[in-house]
Amino acid sequence: MPDFVYDIPMRQLAIVFSLIAVGAVIFGMLIIKPILRLLIGSPPDLNESITYGTASFSLFYGLLLGLLTVSAYQNNAQIKQAILNEATTLGALYADMASYPEPTRSDVKAMLRDYLLFTVYRDWPAHRQGEFLNGGAKRTNAMRQALASFEPQTKGQEIIHAETIAAFQSFAEARQQRLTGVITQIPNVLWYAVLVGAVINLILLVMLRMRFFQQLVLGTITAFFLGVILFVIVALDDPLRGESGLDPEPLQVLWDRTMVWDEPLS
């Protein structure tokens, strides 16, 4: 799917998909149907022939749309879970730092707050455009180096430090999974199959021998539903992109309820 589609506001995009689908049916009834009648005629058993010939096509096309919808939803849910895991592990890291001596405690806590603010206010707007910034990786590496340079002085500190390193690894994994949401999307080749199938489906619909008003009602209802399904797939596809992209709410909640109180007043 072209990138500009994800930048269209969701309400407008839903209207565009529905109008295009309904307009295609009306165009087919007024322009394509007379041409097809000249080419193949209008035998009495035309409807039965179309129904018999398209039974397997309708089955496979419906299956394709269903699988794509489920796949897009699962991708969206996985990235949403990754955002929640990142916030959870980040909060655990921040709490663990309270057991560290100074200056490591204050330094790493400041790094964690800086990372969260960068992610929410700099990285996320880039995600909306289908990009991610290098600042998050640099801040993560700085935190990793600060934790690696700490030398525990007691047995208790060794235990706490080992747990902190494990929590940091979980945080890094969740962050990496969240970044995959920037590039996670349905392959273009599948979109080609979906769009070609939609065109064929509408052509077969307008080929039926029916009264004009009956075919208009049936065609517009079918086309409207097809447009809605395509809109849903686009809205769920590319989980972090555009207006419908996932929000950094778990990270924002972590900041508002925990980290903001340690931020020095300017």
| Section 55-60 average pLDDT | 79
Q: What is the pLDDT of residue 108?
A: 92
Q: What is the pLDDT of residue 175?
A: 93
Q: What is the pLDDT of residue 89?
A: 93
Amino acid sitting at position 12:
Q
So where are the chain's domains?
3-262
Q: How far apart are CA 37 and CA 32, in angstroms?
A: 9
Percent of the chain beyond pLDDT 70?
A: 95
Report pLDDT digits (tens) over 77-101.
Answer: 999 999 999 999 999 999 988 889 8
Buried b (16+ CB within 10 A) or exposed e, 140-158: beebeeebeebeeeeeebe
What's the predicted TM-score (pTM) here? 0.81
Q: What is the pLDDT of residue 212?
A: 84
pLDDT band at residue 2 using 50, 70 and 90 as cut-offs: low
Report pLDDT digits (tens) over 156-168.
Answer: 889 999 999 999 9
